[in-house]
Amino acid sequence: MSFQVFGLPVSRGIAIGRAVLIASSRVDVAHYFISDAQVDTEIGRLRSARNAVADELSTLQRDLPPEAPPELSALLDVHLMLLHDESLTGATKVWIRERRYNAEWALSAQLEVLARQFDEMDDVYLRERKADLEQVVERLLRAMARAAAAPDAGAPTVGLPATSEDPLVMVANDIAPADMLQFKKSVFSGFVTDLGGRTSHTAIVARSMDIPAVVGAREASRLIRQDDWVIIDGDAGIVIVDPSPEVMAEYRAFRQQRERRRAVLARLRHTPAVTRDGEQVELLANIEMPGDAAAALQAGAAGIGLFRSEFLFMNRDGQLPSEDEQYEAYRTAVEAMHGLPVTIRTVDVGADKALDRMSTNELRHEHVLNPALGLRAIRWSLSEPAMFRAQLRAILRAAAHGPVKLLIPMLAHLSEVRRTLEALARARQQLAEAGRAFGAVEVGAMIEVPAAALVLPAFLRHFDFVSIGTNDLIQYTLAIDRADDSVAHLYDPWHPAVLRLIAQSIEQARSVGRSVSVCGEMAGDPSFTELLLGMGLRSFSMHPSQVVAVKERLLATDTREWARRVESILSAESPERACQAAATLMAAEAAAPRETAVLG
């Protein structure tokens, strides 16, 4: 039976495919695709785990004390029976062979299938046996985890294609940014999560993958079954499960229309980014990994406005990347841009981008009451001086290969500015003393804390440029954790307080001759293009896939006209009125004759 699930649209487009459920478990489960050559190995891991658990259960049963109730031995019999039931281990092997899931993922997938079958049983006793099944699977997962921790355990292979010819979409309760990065090169054409907001890092990485996504869909992972046909409408925030043939045909037609539209926009890639009144605008790209630089060039970006270096630190089991490893990554990106500037942000971890190792005393994300306000970004870097200097040295060394800018996240205090610049000076000194080649870098501050925006003139005396990180600026201005599903609906970039802080920051930076850019999600949202241009912004940084859409808007914009209109939007009393004022002005401009464009 067809039904719909509603959530938040965070990455535009239409995806159609079979559902792949990333199951939640009390045991952390790795999800990755394996190669053909690894199938037998994974089945062997499953078999070994089953044998180990069988030995555990048999030993427990054999060693039961005489006074133990007979029900306990019977329960162990049930667990042994479930363990050897072909509907569990036999079907798990099918997931491994046919979908190329690793053993843990395959076992979790089959647990989802069987758990639903137990839920649908009429007999209460049989229905309650689902808990026994979950306990058996947990034992199997723990046995595989112990085996994987052995010194000779091989590293997983991520992102290899599945053998199924059907397209796949991912469905999960939530996906950590580090896990999203693992799936970046995989076969998923879209994804749905129960949790998340429009600017959670999961959503941001979804846009960076340029695939349709819906987050905050509440019960999606419970309602959708393995292998269900699913349509993800990333424009409307709708997920259609088991669609009728008519609905499927309609959405396939929508998808073809979007592809034709993308082809038309692609023709603008190499058109100069100049407004109707002759203002030159810089359109830059945001990237997560060095390999993303190729997409930036392909999109026609004028450089990298934000290299999120923290993704080099993730999925490493707590081991930080060395200076040389970071240098090679940064150098690769710099050389790939062929002389165009690359802005590298120092590691911004914490909040929803926690590492396995968050400090020298093993501070972990889940132990922090409010990680968005805790030891994150520059605060963490300054608390780990050896790590921070290693990163700074790596960036300085990469600057010998091309133009590099250094961007510091989440500054709020002048004391942090002073300590950061001291660390940079020390890093230069260490390289000079070691005889290592390094280059000059411009140094910039991210304005993403209201305190930084309010004391910006003092900051500007110490920096060459500023970059406004609208995602966090909105979060901290409105006191909303953007990773918290319960308040995600209150996150609103149209809030007058947010718009006024952005306008003020742009004006103050320009007044003293400092370059200013916006690198948050607002930069890549075409509905804000005219307003930001009217505020005086001339540098936007966004995901490569959004460059041509923003360019299309700016090519049709008269910045002089919009400079006169900004105040009417900033003076609005609510987000709704600000958004409506902007929409009214854009509609009026679209309907007006374009003689000025001809005269210009």
* pLDDT (tens digit per residue) in 233-290: 998 899 999 999 999 999 999 999 888 888 888 889 989 999 999 999 999 999 988 9
Sign of CA dihedral 47, 51, 53, 57: positive
Residue 175's pLDDT is 74
255 part of a folded domain = yes
122 part of a folded domain = yes
318 and 219 assigned to the same domain: no
535 part of a folded domain = yes
Q: Report which DSSP code applies to 374.
A: S
Residue 600's pLDDT is 33
- For residue 233, the domain's CATH number is 3.50.30.10
Question: Which residues are CB-contacts of 422 (< 8 A; sequence separation ≥ 6)?
Answer: none
468 part of a folded domain = yes
329 and 465 assigned to the same domain: yes
**Spans of the chain below 70 pLDDT:** 23-28, 65, 67-72, 123-128, 149-165, 176-186, 199-202, 205, 208, 315-318, 350-369, 483, 485, 592-600
Active-site residue, from 31, 201, 401, 543:
201
DSSP characters over 550-580:
HHHHHHT--HHHHHHHHHHHHT-SSHHHHHH
Neighbours of 420 (CB within 10 A): 23
The CA distance from 359 to 487, in Å, is: 29
Residue range(s) defining the domain that contains residue 219: 1-25+158-266
3-state helix, strand, coil in the chain (%, to 5): 50, 15, 35
* Beta pairing, strands 14-22 & 229-233: antiparallel
Active-site residue, from 365, 401, 495, 519:
519
Residue 598's pLDDT is 36
Q: What are the residue ranges of helices labelled H in 85-231?
A: 91-94, 103-119, 124-128, 130-148, 177-183, 201-209, 220-223
The CA distance from 100 to 38, in Å, is: 9
Long-range Cβ pairs for the range 71-79 (8 Å, 24+): 75/132, 78/129, 78/132, 79/132, 79/135, 79/136, 79/139
321 and 338 assigned to the same domain: yes
Binding residues for phosphoenolpyruvate: 308, 345, 471-472, 482
- For residue 124, the domain's CATH number is 1.10.274.10
248 and 222 assigned to the same domain: yes
Q: Report helix, strand or coil for 278.
A: coil
324 and 297 assigned to the same domain: yes
The CA distance from 111 to 596, in Å, is: 65
Q: What is the pLDDT of residues 309-319, one digit of tens each?
A: 988 887 666 68
- For residue 475, the domain's CATH number is 3.20.20.60
| pTM of the predicted model as reported, rounded to 2 decimal places | 0.71
195 part of a folded domain = yes
The CA distance from 544 to 538, in Å, is: 17
Give the domain-ending residue among 228, 249, 266.
Answer: 266
Instruction: Let me know if 519 is a catalytic residue.
Output: yes
Which residue is listed with tokens 């999203």?
180
511 part of a folded domain = yes
Query: CB–CB of 6/223 below 8 Å?
Result: no
491 and 435 assigned to the same domain: yes
Q: Report which DSSP code applies to 90.
A: I
Tokens of 71: 């029900």
445 and 398 assigned to the same domain: yes
Give the domain-ending residue among 148, 167, 185.
Answer: 148
Tokens of 182: 């693992």
The CA distance from 336 to 307, in Å, is: 13
344 and 211 assigned to the same domain: no
SS (H, E, C) 574-585: CHHHHHHHHHHH
Host H or E run for residue 283:
strand 282-287
Instruction: Let me know if 201 is a catalytic residue.
Output: yes
434 and 452 assigned to the same domain: yes
Question: Which residues are CB-contacts of 226 (< 8 A; sequence separation ≥ 6)?
Answer: 19, 20, 21, 109, 112, 113
The count of domains in the chain is: 3
153 part of a folded domain = no
Residue 233's pLDDT is 94
The CA distance from 518 to 499, in Å, is: 12
The CA distance from 328 to 326, in Å, is: 5
Residue 266's pLDDT is 86
The CA distance from 355 to 361, in Å, is: 13
125 and 257 assigned to the same domain: no
Long-range Cβ pairs for the range 316-322 (8 Å, 24+): 316/355, 316/356, 317/356, 318/355, 318/356, 318/357, 319/357, 320/357, 320/387, 322/390
Query: CB–CB of 151/138 below 8 Å?
Result: no
What is the greatest pairwise CA distance in the chain?
Answer: 99
The CA distance from 508 to 534, in Å, is: 15
Give the domain-ending residue among 240, 266, 292.
Answer: 266
Which residue is listed with tokens 């046996």?
129
Q: What are the residue ranges of helices labelled H in 437-522?
A: 450-454, 456-460, 470-477, 496-511
The CA distance from 163 to 35, in Å, is: 10
Q: What are the residue ranges of helices labelled H in 120-272?
A: 124-128, 130-148, 177-183, 201-209, 220-223, 245-266
Query: CB–CB of 231/243 below 8 Å?
Result: yes
Rounded (5°) CA angle 242-243-245? 125
Neighbours of 421 (CB within 10 A): 14
109 and 39 assigned to the same domain: yes
Binding residues for Mg(2+): 448, 472
483 part of a folded domain = yes
260 and 280 assigned to the same domain: no
The CA distance from 333 to 340, in Å, is: 10
